[in-house]
Amino acid sequence: MLMSGGQQNVGGDAARVPVSNVPVYTFGFGADHDPRVLNAIANHSMGGTFSDVRNLNNLSIAFSQCLAGLLTVVVRDLKLTVTKVESTILKVSAGNYPLSYDDAAGSVTVSFGDLYNKDVRKVIVDLLLPPASSLAGSNVLNITYTYSSGGKLFDARPIIITVSRTGRTSVEPERKEVMMEENRLRTAQMIKASRVMADDKNLDGALENLVEAQSLQENVVNDESNPLIGMLKSELQQMSRLMKPQAIYEKQGSPFALSSETSHNRQRFAARGDDPKELRLFATPRMDAYLEQAKSFDEDPRKPLPSVDEDEKQELAVDEDEKQELAAEPLPPMVGGLRYYIQNFFNGFLKCCGKIFVSDSSPQDR
């Protein structure tokens, strides 16, 4: 955890320090910190984030969210590999996590690093399918993953994705889960584009881009109750308020945007804005619990807080669904729990893999 309220030392560049093998979580507070350097350090690390703590009264809240993750790591060095079967992989969208390609095998590996308890990572895979002349089932993608725990490496059994081919052109409605993730990725890209325009002093263009991003939220899914849509709207509204004048943007808008970018790229919570309690993108249950504890501490520092052991005991109250999941395939306690969490991770992944289009004008199905 790197905390800074000022500029880096003369004669060096902290952003060039090699930290790619560990996560570095950076916090910028006060009016004189350098958000670009702190953001670069976090981005160059394995899974770190940059938090913009503009209001020093929120310092304990920002730190509590980072600690909540670090104290609940359940999977280390998670690597996901997708390999083509009867298909061609066009693109793998996984934020800015490292990708490695094996052209001979037709595979792409994503290195996620560590996962917290209840963490989720969503990946979208674009596939190109060969022509189909008749009704048939096709194996299109092979999924494997590895992770370590307790010094041991675990290699999961492969998962095969199968789709039904009809041999005729049809247009299937896109899955809601895929639409939501595509919207989040598009919103993150528009936030970055607005920051770049504002950095070039095109504040009007940056603000127009953010307004357009807000209007696009209305067209995603007819589900106003979805918390993701609400948080994206709040994120865009907060950033819009920090766009003008130039002095406000440079002191507040730019750090907010950089923190948003790293949060979306990592799919991990990062504190930003005036109220970290309002923007809860990617927050885990332990983060929510520690948020309440931090608020309680700020209100009355003399009030005793639960210990880490007590927090863990509360989380170990496994619900009935998880018990049934583990009972279906008995495993050692540690491995069983990890398998459950990773299966939750892949539930989201498999839903996003349903993004397959059929085109009238192409000899192939996409």
Q: What is the mean pLDDT of residues 129-152?
A: 87
Domains and CATH numbers, the chain: 1-72+277-317 (no CATH), 74-173 (2.60.40.3670)
Q: Which of 82-86, 135-139, 166-170, 257-261 shows the lowest mean pLDDT across its residues?
A: 166-170
First to last CA, the chain: 44
pLDDT at site 132: 80
pLDDT at site 316: 67
pLDDT at site 153: 92
**Residue 343 tokens, joined:** 């299966």
- Asked if 270 contacts 240 with a C-beta cutoff of 8 angstroms, the reply is no
Which is nearest to 25 in space by CA: 236, 217, 262?
Answer: 262
pLDDT at site 351: 42
Q: Which of 18-22, 39-43, 56-60, 222-226 has the highest mean pLDDT?
A: 39-43
Q: Cα–chain-centroid distance for residue 170?
A: 32
User: In Å, how far are 61, 77, 106, 263, 271 from 149, measured between CA atoms?
Assistant: 29, 9, 28, 25, 29
Amino acid at 231: M
Cα separation of 280 and 268, whole Å?
A: 10
Q: What is the mean pLDDT of residues 25-54?
A: 92
Which is nearest to 137 in space by CA: 83, 81, 88, 85?
Answer: 85
Q: What is the mean pLDDT of residues 222-248?
A: 88
pLDDT at site 295: 85
Cα separation of 233 and 223, whole Å?
A: 13
Which comes out higher in pLDDT, residue 173 or 63? Answer: 63
Contacts 24+ apart (CB under 8 A), 215-222: 216/183, 216/186, 216/187, 217/183, 217/187, 220/179, 220/180, 220/183, 221/176, 221/179, 221/180
User: In Å, how far are 103, 123, 127, 348 from 351, measured between CA atoms?
Assistant: 25, 9, 14, 5
- Asked if 80 contacts 99 with a C-beta cutoff of 8 angstroms, the reply is no
- Asked if 166 contacts 131 with a C-beta cutoff of 8 angstroms, the reply is no
Is the alpha carbon torsion for 18, 22, 23, 29 positive or negative? negative
Q: What is the mean pLDDT of residues 224-234?
A: 85
Q: What is the mean pLDDT of residues 84-104?
A: 95
Q: Strand 50-53 vs strand 26-29: parallel, antiparallel, or unpaired?
A: parallel
pLDDT at site 348: 41
Rounded mean pLDDT of the chain? 83
User: In Å, how far are 80, 163, 269, 350, 351 from 106, measured between CA atoms?
Assistant: 14, 19, 33, 19, 21
Q: Cα–chain-centroid distance for residue 27?
A: 18
Amino acid at 168: R
**Residue 315 tokens, joined:** 């989380």
pLDDT at 357 over 70: no
Q: Report DSSP state, residue 249.
A: I
Q: What is the mean pLDDT of residues 89-108?
A: 95
pLDDT, one tens digit per residue, over 299-348 is 888 877 777 777 777 666 644 545 554 454 443 333 444 444 444 444 44
Q: What is the CA radius of gyration of the chain?
A: 22
- Asked if 279 contacts 273 with a C-beta cutoff of 8 angstroms, the reply is yes
**Per-residue pLDDT band at 163 (split at 50, 70, 90):** confident
Segment (H or E) for 154: strand 152-155
Q: What is the mean pLDDT of residues 24-50?
A: 92
